[in-house]
Amino acid sequence: MTSTYLVLSDLTLSAVQAEATGAHAKHGDHSMLGPSQTDDRRLAILTEEVGEVARELNDAAIGDRPIDRDKLVKELIQVAAMAATWVEALEGTPPRLRSQQAAEGITGIGWDNLGHGTEAWALNQIRMAQQGLRDAGELAGLPPMPRIVCLCGSTRFYDTFQQVNYERTMAGEIVLSVGFYPHAKAEHGHGEGVGHDSSEKVTLDELHKRKIDLADYVLVLNVGGYIGESTRSEIAYAEQAGRPVEYLEGGTR
């Protein structure tokens, strides 16, 4: 029996995904996925990227110097991203419609595995793009990105937030926390006892979800087992976004 191995690493695939996603975000309707783009124009875009690969090889040969590996990798990733995005365009499904397809159970090139509903698809794309950025940095020789943790819990536990922030920071992690503690005792100068209306609460809740988007995992400060309604909402969001959720008291789930 002959074993079959996948030849492309997750590192390369993630870098291609990040490049393709970034290009579409930057150029919109003028990207390879633009609804008004023609195949002739897509060929011109792809050829331009191939030309950058050829330029680096030629410059190295003419200048009698070694090939700039990092630059060559970058240009090849761009070529791969444009070619892969052209394939997506040929499938005839713009990005904004893929989440609906997934929700309806329509299958394509793995699109049925992206999740259900618009938000789930968007969260999956954010996660893939973020991983792609990390992998691209690694390919470029940058130091590894530290893990990012987002702290969630009731703002009444001010001292616990500060202690865990310190501990995780000293452990070499990037800590995303809260900056407004309306339910804490008014003794720290961080908004304790200051009221806020419903619209401000919605804004703060959304701001914290964006922090969850940036995080590698979520740590819930469930002091004494307490988890409030807002924290439960953040946990549900984190789980939907595919972020591991750990608990200060009670382990991981």
Q: How far apart are CA 166 and CA 159, in angstroms?
A: 11
19 and 127 inside one domain? yes
Judged by DSSP in three states, 152 sits in: strand
Rounded-to-integer distance, Cα 73 and Cα 79, Å: 10
CA proximity to 97, closest of 81, 127, 121: 121
Same-domain status, 16 and 133: yes
User: So what's the pLDDT on residue 103?
Assistant: 41
Q: Which of 43-47, 61-65, 192-196, 219-223 has the highest mean pLDDT?
A: 219-223
Say if residue 38's pLDDT is above 80.
yes
- Greater model confidence, 122 or 16: 16
73 in the same domain as 106: yes
Are 121 and 62 contained in the same domain?
A: yes
Same-domain status, 123 and 183: no
Do 206 and 134 reside in the same domain of the chain? Answer: no
When mean pLDDT is compared over 32-41, 89-98, 177-186, the highest value belongs to 32-41
Q: How many residues does the chain have?
A: 253
Which of 19-33, 95-109, 131-145 is least confident?
A: 95-109
Domain boundary among 113, 139, 165: 139
Question: Would 3 be classed as within a structural domain?
Answer: no
Last residue of a domain, one of 139, 171, 189: 139
- Strand 245-247, strand 251-252: pairing: antiparallel
**What is each CA distance from 233 to 208, 214, 224, 227, in whole angstroms?**
11, 17, 19, 10
The predicted pLDDT at position 37 comes to: 85
Report DSSP letters for 190-202, one per residue. Answer: SSTT----HHHHH
Residues 67 and 158 in one domain: no
Q: 183: domain range?
A: 148-252
pLDDT bracket for residue 110 (50, 70, 90): very low
pLDDT band at 29; cut points 50, 70, 90: confident
pLDDT at 190 over 80: no
pTM for this predicted structure = 0.51
Is there a single domain that holds both residue 131 and residue 20?
yes
Residue 2 in any domain: the answer is no
- Per the structure, how many domains does the chain have? 2
231 pLDDT more than 80: yes
Domain identity same for 176 and 200: yes
More confident residue, 222 or 204: 222
Has residue 109 been placed in a domain? yes
Domain membership flag for residue 135: yes
CATH number of the domain at 196, please.
3.40.50.450
What pairing do the DSSP bridges indicate for beta strands 217-220 and 245-247? parallel
Whether residue 215 is contained in a domain is answered as: yes
Per the model's pLDDT, the better-predicted residue between 30 and 228 turns out to be 228
pLDDT for position 219: 97
**Structural domain ending residue among the three candidates 119, 139, 159:** 139
Are 29 and 135 part of one and the same domain?
yes
Do 25 and 123 share a domain, yes or no?
Answer: yes
In a domain? residue 207: yes
In a domain? residue 1: no
Q: Same structural domain for residues 170 and 125?
A: no
Domain annotation covers residue 115: yes
pLDDT of residue 142: 77
Residue 196 has pLDDT above 70, yes or no: no
Q: How far apart are CA 86 and CA 84, in angstroms?
A: 5
Judge whether residue 42 has pLDDT over 70: yes
Instruction: State the chain's mean pLDDT as an integer.
Output: 79
Q: Say if residue 21's pLDDT is above 80.
A: yes
More confident residue, 170 or 19: 170
* pLDDT at residue 147 tops 80: yes
Q: Average pLDDT, stretch 105-128?
A: 48
